[in-house]
Amino acid sequence: MPVPASLPAPAAGQQWSAAAYAANAPFVPALGGAALALLDPRPGERILDLGCGDGVLTARIAAAGAAVTGLEPDPDMAAAARGRGLAVIAADAHDPIPGGPWDAVFSNAALHWMRDPALVLSRVFDALAPGGRLVAEQGGFGNVAAVVTALNAARAARGLAALAPWDFPSPDRARRRLEAAGFEVEELGLHPRPTPLPTGMAGWLATFAAPFLSDLPAAARPALLAAAEGLLGALHEPGTGWVADYVRLRFRARRPR
Ligand code: BEZ
């Protein structure tokens, strides 16, 4: 199966439903505690949550007393976050980030969706106050590798090219990219985190696999997802159920004073 030389432009076909996300992926904010601890939000700090989604984790930053604002381009997710009483800027992180300077920028499970992560890092750098910090968790090297391989095997069986719609950098690559944007990296590491899926592999694929389907007729999509699921038996654990092969990259980096 040929491997694509570079990431294709945006994760084509992905549209969010806040209700489906809450049902199929509640673990995304629920397991955000380690990233929140690394952020260590303080009362009164101006914090931007980049890719805040439905705002479940953002609300925990607000509960710590910080003046937090979400940045979220998806209308359904932004509406869900606003429904929690949160301020949300509807913008794409590839564009200059409004509202700065921010004391901190936080991001959970969003950076791997960016089509140009280096550009986004430079936008974040520019939006931070001198001495401000970027604290983020995202998919790291090897994240959901079995799932991606199964989706690409199902595509290959239909004569379709392999895709790599998400950016899961190794620690070395992530560090180099942060430093190239001007950051001082204070902490950065890879953390394997096998993650039980509350609605099974079918629920995960229904929520996240759209980038692998956009060049298929709608009628052919369920069979591709079923074929991928059929290849993933190694991720089904007796007594537990489906467990995704998540690997998190977590870091704190600072804009120098
Ligand atoms: C993640 O959070 O690691 C992730 C979620 C959906 C698609 C790809 C990665």
- The average pLDDT across 213-229 equals 97
Residue 10 has pLDDT above 70, yes or no: no
The residue with tokens 């439903």 is 17
Quickly count helices (H) and strands (E) in the chain.
10, 10
Among the residue ranges 27-31, 127-131, 138-142, the one predicted with the least confidence is 27-31
166 CB within 6 A, ligand 1: yes
Look at the alpha carbons of 72, 76, 78, 81 in this order and tell me if their dihedral is positive or negative.
Answer: negative
Which 8-state DSSP code applies to residue 238? T
Percent of the chain with pLDDT over 90: 88
- The average pLDDT across 101-119 equals 97
DSSP characters for 156-168?
HTTTPPP---S--
Single-letter amino acid, residue 252: R
Residue to mutate (ligand 1; options 21, 166, 197; most atoms within 8 A of CB):
166
Give the distance from CA 124 to its chain's centroid.
Answer: 16
The residue with tokens 């991606």 is 148
Among the residue ranges 7-16, 55-64, 67-76, 190-199, the one predicted with the least confidence is 7-16
State the pLDDT at residue 1: 39
Q: How confident is the model at residue 21 (pLDDT cuts 50, 70, 90)?
A: confident
State the pLDDT at residue 136: 98
The burial class, CB within 10 Å (0-12 / 13-18 / 19+), for 241 is middle
**Which ligand 1 atom is nearest residue 139's CA?**
3
Structure confidence by residue, pLDDT tens digits, 36-66: 999 999 999 999 999 999 999 999 999 999 9
Residue 127 has pLDDT above 50, yes or no: yes
Residues in the chain: 257
State the pLDDT at residue 24: 86
Residue 28 has pLDDT above 90, yes or no: no
> Average pLDDT over the chain, rounded to whole?
93
Q: How far apart are CA 243 and CA 238, in angstroms?
A: 10
Q: How confident is the model at residue 13 (pLDDT cuts 50, 70, 90)?
A: low
- The average pLDDT across 209-222 equals 96
C-alpha distances (whole Å) from 137 to each of 38, 106, 110, 158, 190 are 10, 9, 8, 34, 10
Please give the distance, rounded to the nearest whole angstrom, from the Cα atom of residue 251 to the centre of ligand 1. 17
Residue 4 has pLDDT above 50, yes or no: no
Domain 18-144+165-196+244-254 bears CATH identifier 3.40.50.2300: no
Query: Are 37 and 60 in contact, with CB atoms under 8 Å apart?
Result: no
Strand order in the sheet with 102-108: 87-89, 67-71, 46-50, 102-108, 128-139, 247-254, 184-192
Residue to mutate (ligand 1; options 107, 208, 247; most atoms within 8 A of CB):
208
| More reliable by pLDDT, 229 or 1 | 229
Please give the distance, rounded to the nearest whole angstrom, from the Cα atom of residue 1 to the centre of ligand 1. 22
| pTM passes above 0.75 | yes
The residue with tokens 């380690």 is 34
Strand order in the sheet with 236-237: 195-196, 241-244, 236-237
Q: How confident is the model at residue 12 (pLDDT cuts 50, 70, 90)?
A: very low
139 CB within 6 A, ligand 1: yes
Residue 33 has pLDDT above 70, yes or no: yes
What are the sequence ranges of the domains in the chain? 18-144+165-196+244-254
Q: How far apart are CA 15 and CA 34, in angstroms?
A: 27
Nearest residue CA, atom 1 of ligand 1? 139
What is the three-class DSSP state of 138?
A: strand
Please give the distance, rounded to the nearest whole angstrom, from the Cα atom of residue 207 to the centre of ligand 1. 10
Query: Are 213 and 206 in contact, with CB atoms under 8 Å apart?
Result: no
Single-letter amino acid, residue 25: A
Residue 3 has pLDDT above 60, yes or no: no
